[in-house]
Amino acid sequence: MFKKILIYFFLLINGAAFAQNHGYYSPEFWKKYTEALTFDLKLEPFTVKNADFHFRIWDIGQVIDVWKDNSNIIYGEITNYAKEYDEMNLGKRTFYYSKLPIEPGNASDIYKSILKNGLTSIPTGDAIDGWGKNTGGFTYIVECIDSSGYSFKCYLSPAKQGSLKEAITLQSFIAKLDQVLKLKKTYKSFSASIPFWCYTKGTPEVTCRKK
């Protein structure tokens, strides 16, 4: 346990230093981050997606995709993932992942929620007046293709942004995703099959098997 806490503290401190030097809170930083993960997880890049509408949100250890093709059918997919943690090789990029289709009814429900809440029109966090950059926590990333073209946005810790209406809308949507798709339960089931001794899932925290 002591070792795990030290690892977590080291990653947190060094992550903060890296953030300050590389524009951690900017969409440019996260664009490069997700481009690498898109390759690692064998996700279909948005540039080749043949869809009238495609919404992707990057959650903790999970990527949720919902899209509509030109026949107006709504599809969805959950990608669960874990990255191997090797303290002797911190640059190692070995991933384990699984892809699960979302039931059509649930995919349609999420699609309607995206439109109803105007999620595609919410600016990136950097452009929202009052959106804090020093709160710490997880950054949610949203990619979308619609009639307006392609957009890429990132939101640091919506739950820590007080009464900002955009943050409340995002929190509500994230909660709905978990409720409809049972995301926590889905990841727990997935984690039982992770072959790594220690792994991360998009946050500084390292999870290790019990001895």
User: Terminus-to-terminus CA distance in the chain, angstroms?
Assistant: 11
- Predicted pLDDT of residue 20: 43
- Alpha helices per DSSP H over the chain: 2-22, 27-40, 104-116, 165-181, 183-191
pLDDT at 144: 94
Q: What is the dihedral of CA 90, 94, 95, 96, to 10 degrees?
A: -120
Instruction: Report the alpha-carbon distance of residue 155 to residue 91 in Å, rounded.
Output: 25
CA distance 115 to 143: 14
> What is the CA angle 31-32-33, rounded to 5?
90
pTM, full prediction: 0.85
Chain length of the chain: 211
pLDDT the model gives residue 24: 52
Sequence-ordered list of residues with C-beta below 8 angstroms from that of 45, at least 6 positions apart, any chain = 38
pLDDT along the chain (211 residues), means of 10: 36 39 65 93 79 92 93 94 87 92 97 95 92 83 91 92 95 96 96 94 87 62
Q: What are phi and psi of 29, to 5 degrees?
A: -60, -50
